[in-house]
Amino acid sequence: MITVKNLGFTYQQANSRVEALASISVDMPGNSMTAIIGPSGCGKTTLLYILAGLFPPSAGEVLIKGRPPRAGRPGIALVPQDYGLLPWKTVRDNVALGLKLRRMPAPVIRQKVEDMLERLGVGETIDRYPAQLSGGQAQRVAVARALVLDPDVLLLDEPFSSLDALTREKLQETLLDVWTRLRITTVLVTHSIEEAVFLGHKIIILSGQPGRLVAEVENPCFGRPGARYLPEFYDICKELRALLGPAPGATGPARGYPAPALP
Ligand SMILES: Nc1ncnc2c1ncn2[C@@H]1O[C@H](COP(=O)(O)OP(=O)(O)OP(=O)(O)O)[C@@H](O)[C@H]1O
Ligand SMILES: [Mg+2]
């Protein structure tokens, strides 16, 4: 469904060039969830923006259902890393925005917005402004704003990063539950190994700057009941940890792996 071929992207300003992505080729299956993981600065957000049609590739191509993505195409919804909520609009108006642009009748919009906010557990925030929300509530409102558009492709940039561990797990389950019902082709960027293994049917690992493809992992734990408690879940987390290498500045070994020899 999403094909990325020899993709390269360079940010070019008057007197500087930053190569963000180099030679990435990968397929992301339709009606499935793909997780992208990699260290900070490896180009995950850039890749998502290219998939959303906001940035044209500098090299190679991206095809979604056989066509290059185009910003504003109704089928693609992006939840940006900073949520992208308009501060001067209430939660209701933020979530309704895309539906209003589609000129849907007001009662239909009202119903859809209320249902989606309830489903994501933030129904009580409907008349508040973004500044009156906690980080986790703002993230859920941003996800609601994307889902209410019934997208074919949902692009999520670290949607749960500002949450405490328990709320995060609960929302991961909500997202999986929503996905199980709607089967939207979803691409989720994350820093968290456990999140990638819980929410990625396929997991794409990027590294370095420019970001390059390190590996693609098919995840047999995806969607299985009690996935987090399966021995395979732990095994795949270990595999990802090894592929990602030790965190920058870490002196100890990546958990479960021998320490690198010190000079
Ligand atoms: N507008 C820009 N102009 C120049 N360089 C940029 C711009 N936006 C991002 N970059 C650089 O491109 C590289 C990739 O950035 P990107 O935001 O895609 O990384 P990321 O993997 O999403 O990082 P994080 O995990 O911290 O969100 C980084 O080196 C970043 O500094
Ligand atoms: Mg990012």
Centre of ligand 2 to C-alpha 107, Å, is 36
Q: Give pLDDT, residue 250.
A: 54
Mutate to test the pocket of ligand 1, among 10, 21, 44 (most ligand atoms within 8 A of CB): 44
Beta-bridged to residue 204, according to DSSP, are 36, 216
Q: Are both 109 and 235 inside the same structural domain? A: no
Q: Could you say which ligand is closest to the alpha carbon of residue 157?
A: 2
- Residues 47-85 have pLDDT tens digits of 999 999 999 999 999 999 899 998 777 789 999 888 889
Residue 36's CB is within 10 A of a number of other CB atoms, namely 29
Q: Give pLDDT, residue 136.
A: 81
Q: Whose CA is nearest to atom 18 of ligand 1?
A: 43
Which residues sit with their C-beta closer than 6 Å to ligand 1?
Answer: 11, 18, 20, 38, 40-46, 81, 209
Among residues 150, 167, 201, the one where a domain terminates is 150
Q: Give pLDDT, residue 205.
A: 96
Residue 164 lies in a domain: no
User: What are the residue ranges in the chain where pLDDT is below 50?
Assistant: 252-262
- Residues 15-36 have pLDDT tens digits of 899 999 999 999 999 999 999 9
Centre of ligand 1 to C-alpha 259, Å, is 30
Residue 220: both structure tokens together: 């047999």
Residue 222 to residue 33: CA distance in whole angstroms: 9
* DSSP string across the chain: -EEEEEEEEEEEETTEEEEEEEEEEEEE-TTSEEEEE--TTSSHHHHHHHHTTSS--SEEEEEETTB---TT-TTEEEE-TT----TTS-HHHHHHHHHHHTT--HHHHHHHHHHHHHHTT-GGGTTS-GGGS-HHHHHHHHHHHHHTT--SEEEEESTTTTS-HHHHHHHHHHHHHHHHHH--EEEEEES-HHHHHHH-SEEEEEETTTBEEEEEEE-TTTT-TTGGGSHHHHHHHHHHHHHH-SPTT--SPPTTSPPPPP-
Residue 178 lies in a domain: no
Q: Are both 127 and 254 inside the same structural domain? A: no
Residue 201 lies in a domain: yes
Centre of ligand 2 to C-alpha 54, Å, is 15
Q: Could you say which ligand is closest to the alpha carbon of residue 37?
A: 1
Residue 49 lies in a domain: yes
- Residue 256 is part of which domain span? 1-71+153-158+184-263
Residue 172 lies in a domain: no
Q: Could you say which ligand is closest to the alpha carbon of residue 12?
A: 1
Q: Whose CA is nearest to atom 27 of ligand 1?
A: 40
Residue 209 lies in a domain: yes
Q: Give pLDDT, residue 248.
A: 56
Q: Are both 62 and 111 inside the same structural domain? A: no
Centre of ligand 2 to C-alpha 44, Å, is 5
Q: Which amino acid is at 10?
A: T
Q: Are both 108 and 122 inside the same structural domain? A: yes
Centre of ligand 1 to C-alpha 191, Å, is 14
Residue 166 to residue 162: CA distance in whole angstroms: 12
Look-up: residue for tokens 């508040």? Answer: 128
Residue 173 lies in a domain: no
Backbone angles phi, psi at 61, to 5 degrees: -150, 160
Among residues 101, 134, 150, the one where a domain terminates is 150
Beta-bridged to residue 202, according to DSSP, are 34, 218
Q: Are both 7 and 47 inside the same structural domain? A: yes
Count of structural domains, the chain: 2
Residue 171 lies in a domain: no
Residue 229: both structure tokens together: 């408690």
Q: Are both 16 and 137 inside the same structural domain? A: no
Q: Are both 103 and 229 inside the same structural domain? A: no
Q: Whose CA is nearest to atom 1 of ligand 1?
A: 11
